[in-house]
Chains A and B, each alone.
Chain A
Amino acid sequence: DIVMTQSPLSLPVTPGESASISCRSSQSLLHSNGYNYLGWYLQKPGQSPHLLIFLASKRASGVPDRFSGSGSGTDFTLKISRVEAEDVGVYYCMQTLQTPGYTFGQGTKLEIK
């Protein structure tokens, strides 16, 4: 299985500041088509997860441009610029290169200071 490791696991942020979450995979997620099969999801308190970023760097429909994804191979980053109170929740990365055997990271809990 491809193991996904996120850091930090807890992320206190002051509103208006930026935040970054790292996701590392135990194997490269770069497909032969040139895309990295890595997605980012946010689970707000008491809600279902929803898609933020797909293919490592593409924003899903309706996602504010404050959210950006980057990285390739085994190292990926989700950056949130100008954090707002509505951004609190648990952020998960997920790899979909290895089929079967899709795997999520452990989650990073973002909270407002």
Chain B
Amino acid sequence: QITLKESGPTLVKPTQTLTLTCTVSGSSVSNSGVGVGWIRQPPGKALEWLALIYWDDDKRYNPSLKRRLTITKDTSKNQVVLRMTNMDPVDTATYYCAHWWTFGESFDYWGQGTLVTVSS
């Protein structure tokens, strides 16, 4: 059974940098065909894909947010970290990490999500 759990601050101030960690169990982030992505959802709104890192350390970013995002992985801890700079109140959202399944070209397992509020 694959599980993912997000961790990080629940409240950040405008202009600060958000750092979120996704801890993966039941699957190795270095296994061929595996990736971990981040998706966010503002309250009452739709899902928005942010970034994805593959087993071979290849990385993909949402073009509209690319300048603010950095995704990395720590294979020794089986974790993936997302950094988002210059946070703004419009970035208030639930942030999900999800397990990417290359064969199915889809996110087959999702974390429970973590609500991040941006406010001074």
Which positions in A face B, CB cutoff 8 Å? 1, 35, 37, 39, 41, 43, 48-51, 54-55, 58, 60, 92, 94, 96, 99-107
Smallest beta-carbon distance A101→chain B, Å:
6
Smallest beta-carbon distance B64→chain A, Å:
8
Q: Do the beta carbons of B62 and A101 come within 8 Å of each other?
A: yes
With contacts A54-B104, A55-B104 known, is A104 near B49, CB below 8 A? yes
Could you give 12 example pairs across A and B, Cβ below 8 Å?
A35-B105, A41-B47, A41-B107, A43-B47, A48-B113, A54-B105, A54-B108, A55-B104, A92-B46, A94-B106, A100-B52, A104-B47
With contacts A48-B113, A50-B110, A104-B48 known, is A96 near B105, CB below 8 A? yes
Contacts of A105 in B (CB 8 A): 46
Smallest beta-carbon distance B103→chain A, Å:
9
With contacts A1-B63, A100-B61 known, is A55 near B111, CB below 8 A? no
Docked CA distance A34–B108 (Å): 21
Residue of A nearest to B58 (CB): A99
Residue of A nearest to B111 (CB): A48
Residue of B nearest to A1 (CB): B63
What 3 pairs across the A-B complex have the smallest Cβ distances? A54-B104, A100-B60, A39-B106
B112 contacts partner chain A, Cβ-Cβ < 8 Å: yes
Smallest beta-carbon distance B30→chain A, Å:
20
